[in-house]
Structure 1
Amino acid sequence: MRSPGSSRTATALPVSLDRESEVPLAVQLADALRESAATGHLRGGDRLPSTRALAGRLGVSRTVTSAAYEQLHAEGWIAGRHGSGTYVTTSPPAERPQGRTVVGGEGPPPSLLDLTPGVPWAEGLDRAAWRRAWRAAADTPPLSAAHRAGLPEYRAAIAEHLLRHRGLAVGTESVLATGGTTAAVVELAGAVLEPGDRVAVEEPGYQRAVQAFRGAGVEVLPLPVDGEGLLPDAVPTGVRAVYCSPAHQYPMGSRMSASRRVELVERARAEDFLLIEDDYDGELRFDVAPLPLLAALAPDVVAHLGTTSKILTPTLGAGWMVAPQPVTSAVLEYRERTGTRPSPAGQRVLVELARNGDLGRHLRRLRRELSERRTLLVDALRAAGVPVLGDDAGAHLVVPCVSAEDERDRLAAGRTRGIQLDALGRHFAGVPSAHGIAIAYAGCSQEALRDALGDLVEILR
């Protein structure tokens, strides 16, 4: 650093204050001076104007400049010297580090119409009900202790939801709050399974669950699916658990038949393995009443998982688990051991949506809306001779392809036309044995879907 005698006085400071901003002027000034020191416009040893002179130059009160200088002094950027003035103490680094950017978590570019599975109809949420729920949730007092199992009122609301919309009768004490389906799988893998255990998972299937199991050191075995869902007789012997989505298989869209459900439950009981039931799209049936949940058929061997992310929005980060008592106890012990728990904020909002009847009204609207969209899409594709796979339910369907290259070509054609589609290939943990394009219809407006129909037909014909 230069000596005071050789210092330069910083007279032309690059400071611009926005009096319309909600950020206090003193904070804006401190930020600007700090940035100037970090970028090299101000260097170690430079003398700053006095607080009075700088206040006059910027047209602000001396209180503003004094507060900014005090903050920078506390951070070590500047120092005062008796009888001499205020000096910059920190020189910029020789080479500024590049900004760090988190990649891969933003989804498709905004310019693309996103028709990939898993995106909910968030724009269909009643905004007045949404605001009302958040306000009511904010009126509840802050928690002073963690609720490892979840808020009691949330667990009660989920028990009521499961009875009304999934036909599953459970007590509040049987429900655990979770952070969503993937979070629940992580907890089950850590609490119930051990490294080296074997778990059978649908193939194609939910790859986040696959990675959650593998992350816990669990061996994942692929299970084939067809038009009736998972094949129970293909479950290998010696597995500790089977992960499946019987209501609307992800991503093929089939529904597990009643006979296969019974066969799978009988094998689980006879061979002592846990059935992990991912109730993907379980609330979204348009044609007939849903088949009984595995958890209703065999509560003694089934861990039932659900989430608000697909029926409402990922904003809440809330889900649920209903499982046999030894399993829920193990999960609670895992949470205590790791110091983790699902966030109560989203739980409180869900409670308010349920309390006012807004959750039920939204689900009824959602089913009507998605039924109309599915009919619109299926009619257009079939009229053009395009085959469609999947049950009349849920928020996506599948168009078969002849090869992996065919998948890639159609994905590329979609991007060229401004549409983001999904290929079955990425849903296989091993070598893909089926090829196709998955098309979701919940994440956009119905108008946008109508506008895209012509392009979709051309891409998939």
Structure 2
Amino acid sequence: MGPTLRGHVDLPLTLDRNAPVPLAVQLGDQLRDGVRAGMLRSGERLPSSRSLARLLDVSRTVVTEAFQQLYAEGWLEGRHGSGTYVASLTGLPKPGLPKPGLPKPGLLKPGPPRRDPLWNGRASANGRARTPGAGPAGDGAGRPEPAPESWAGTRRPPPGVIDLRPGRPWVLGYDERAWKRAWRRAADLPPQAYVDPYGHPRLRELLAAHLRRARAVPAGPENVMVTRGTGNGLDLVAATLLRPGDGAGVEEPGYRTARHVLAARGGRVVPCPVDEQGVVVAGLPDDLRVLYTTPAHQYPLGGRLPIARRERLLAWAGRTGATVVEDDYDAEFRYDVAPLPALYGLDPGRVVLLGTLSKSLAPDVGIGWLVATPELLARVARVRKSLADRTSGPVQEAVSVLLESGDLDRHLRRMRLEYARRRAAIVEALGARVLGVSAGLHVFLGLPAGAVEPLVEAAARHGVLLDTTARHHHGPVTAHGLVIGYGSASLAEVRKACAVIRALLPDA
């Protein structure tokens, strides 16, 4: 019997007001398809009708009508004083990869974005690990960086300095009792002589359920490998797929450590253009073997790849035979918009999905996931075993406890609200010129080329650390501005720092 999961489901439901089908019928169909596809499992709790109505920006009557129909059909059940749950059903297909030729579940159908005031959640962070590189999650070690010449370049600023550089989460808001409880349970685990390259089976099952709830990813435990983070996952994929000289595409501007990882594994790094929406499919060459991309919140410009372009990207991958490596680092932290489906959910055969707990929990936890077809995962597992690469068993056990108890979901909900306040403070202070505000823990502020460095230097003199787009380019800088992170600064610090930035802006 699988683990008991707590917390609300959080799926990318989309309703089309222009369709001839009533909204209540659309919602019922999508929930029903979600159960059939295994993205909603028996015993999982749905949001309340009031919460779901706010999520979808519809009347509560639409939700209650859909729920009543599903109650009548036996798909849902109510528990007095507890809420609405997926009923205990038998004979449904095992969750995993969609069968070839079958239509995709309605839950993954594209639709217009909706306001999402309730759920605002996940991203990434920077840290160090023994293997090269990382995606924007930054939880692996990349090529060593030059030693900083002053405190403005250090990882941890001195007291009184406000750090608005991206890639740093808030690690002070954790539940101390839940954290200690998880590690006490981990301490009960005896030392293991055999290390499973796939990771602990229980954690793989829990992560698969988490991805179904949070991202509607149609994956079962057979699709999940537990990694040490996004950087570790990208390194394993590169070691498995790349041959010396193979084209490895990275967004330009994009996360530079991803370039280091792919180059270290023999890839010929190819910068691929992006615009305000994300990667430009028309600009992709046909000779790439791997493309690393950040469609949920492009790093560092913040674009959100629209569904039409996602479909064009997958068509390109199908035509060229390339593998798309999707870094889903910012998918859970979103504001005012409903989530778009993960690329992996649209075409599991062409996409490898990478994720991490570095931003949602803490960088030093060192847990992430790699989601792929069982066939590709088996190849990766063989390569991983040959490299003697492994994920700590006690750490996996602690994370399993956090997931199984619902403590991680509760932590995410708290941090979503906290980050939403900081993001709102930035938008209020800096206005419409700020881009990439729909998700993540950073925004992009475009500036004239000659104004960027003087502003950064002046802000540093006022005790505010800022990042620019310059270091995220592989070649000449084409996008000029600031990459403002709001993960590691308090709300009061964010407001104070934004007042400094506003005063320094060229047209201020």
| 1:418-433 equivalence runs, <5 A | 418-433=463-478
**Structure 1 counterpart SS, 2:193:** coil
Sort the Cα spacing of 1:357 and 1:194 in 2 relative to 1 into closer, same or farther, 3 A. Answer: same
Q: Is the 8 A contact 2:224 2:369 kept in 1?
A: yes
**Structure 2 counterpart SS, 1:453:** helix
For residue 344 of structure 2, the aligned residue among 295, 318, 336 is 295
Aligned-partner Cα distance in 2 for 1:416–1:226: 32
Aligned residue type for 1:256: L
Q: Is the 8 A contact 1:249 1:280 kept in 2?
A: no
Residue of structure 2 in register with 1:369 after alignment: 418
Residue of structure 1 in register with 2:95 after alignment: none
1:331 aligns with 2:380: yes
Provide, for residues 292-351 of structure 1, a one-character-per-residue CA deviation record: whole Å limited to 9, x for no partner: 110000000100000011111012111000012332122111112111112223222211
Residue of structure 2 in register with 1:195 after alignment: 244
Aligned residue type for 2:259: V
Q: Is the 8 A contact 1:316 1:347 kept in 2?
A: no
1:399 aligns with 2:445: yes
1:414 aligns with 2:459: yes
Residue of structure 2 in register with 1:215 after alignment: 264
Q: Displacement of 1:235 after TM fit?
A: 0.8
For residue 300 of structure 2, the aligned residue among 251, 258, 263 is 251
Aligned residue type for 1:215: A
Aligned-partner Cα distance in 1 for 2:454–2:189: 53
Aligned-partner Cα distance in 2 for 1:262–1:209: 24
Aligned-partner Cα distance in 1 for 2:460–2:444: 18
**Structure 1 counterpart SS, 2:319:** helix
Moved more, 344-353 or 360-369: 344-353
**Structure 1 counterpart SS, 2:270:** strand
TM-score, normalised relative to structure 2: 0.68
Aligned residue type for 1:395: L
| 1:19-168 equivalence runs, <5 A | 107-111=155-159, 112-168=161-217
Q: Work out the number of aligned pairs and report it.
A: 356
Q: Is the 8 A contact 1:245 1:278 kept in 2?
A: yes
Q: Is the 8 A contact 2:254 2:472 kept in 1?
A: yes
Residue of structure 1 in register with 2:503 after alignment: 458
Provide, for residues 222-266 of structure 1, a one-character-per-residue CA deviation record: whole Å limited to 9, x for no partner: 111112211111110111011100000011011001000000011
Aligned residue type for 2:499: G
Provide, for residues 181-216 of structure 1, a one-character-per-residue CA deviation record: whole Å limited to 9, x for no partner: 111111111111111000111111111110001111
Residue of structure 1 in register with 2:275 after alignment: 226
Q: Is the 8 A contact 2:355 2:370 kept in 1?
A: yes
- Between the aligned residues of both structures, percent identity stands at 40
Q: Is the 8 A contact 2:189 2:394 kept in 1?
A: no
Aligned-partner Cα distance in 2 for 1:337–1:350: 26
Q: Is the 8 A contact 1:242 1:276 kept in 2?
A: yes
Residue of structure 1 in register with 2:47 after alignment: none
Q: Is the 8 A contact 1:315 1:346 kept in 2?
A: no
Aligned residue type for 1:367: R
**Structure 2 counterpart SS, 1:240:** strand
Aligned residue type for 1:312: L
Q: Displacement of 1:103 after TM fit?
A: 5.1
The runs of 5 or more residues in structure 1 that have no matched partner are 1-101
Q: Is the 8 A contact 1:184 1:305 kept in 2?
A: yes
Q: Displacement of 1:154 after TM fit?
A: 1.4
Large movers: runs of 4+ above 4 Å: 102-106
For residue 286 of structure 1, the aligned residue among 335, 351, 357 is 335
For residue 449 of structure 1, the aligned residue among 470, 489, 494 is 494
**Structure 1 counterpart SS, 2:478:** coil
Residue of structure 2 in register with 1:387 after alignment: 433
Aligned-partner Cα distance in 2 for 1:260–1:337: 38
Task: Name the one with the larger helix percent.
Answer: 1
Aligned residue type for 1:425: A
Aligned-partner Cα distance in 2 for 1:344–1:162: 21
Moved more, 179-188 or 444-453: 444-453
Aligned-partner Cα distance in 2 for 1:459–1:360: 39
For residue 341 of structure 1, the aligned residue among 370, 378, 390 is 390
Q: Is the 8 A contact 1:305 1:322 kept in 2?
A: yes
Aligned residue type for 1:376: A
Residue of structure 1 in register with 2:16 after alignment: none
For residue 182 of structure 1, the aligned residue among 231, 247, 253 is 231
The runs of 5 or more residues in structure 2 that have no matched partner are 1-145
1:440 aligns with 2:488: no
**Structure 2 counterpart SS, 1:205:** coil
Aligned residue type for 1:352: V
TM-score, normalised relative to structure 1: 0.75
Provide, for residues 419-451 of structure 1, a one-character-per-residue CA deviation record: whole Å limited to 9, x for no partner: 111000000111111111011111122122233
Q: Is the 8 A contact 2:296 2:330 kept in 1?
A: yes
Q: Is the 8 A contact 1:174 1:323 kept in 2?
A: yes
Aligned residue type for 1:434: A
Q: Displacement of 1:106 after TM fit?
A: 5.6
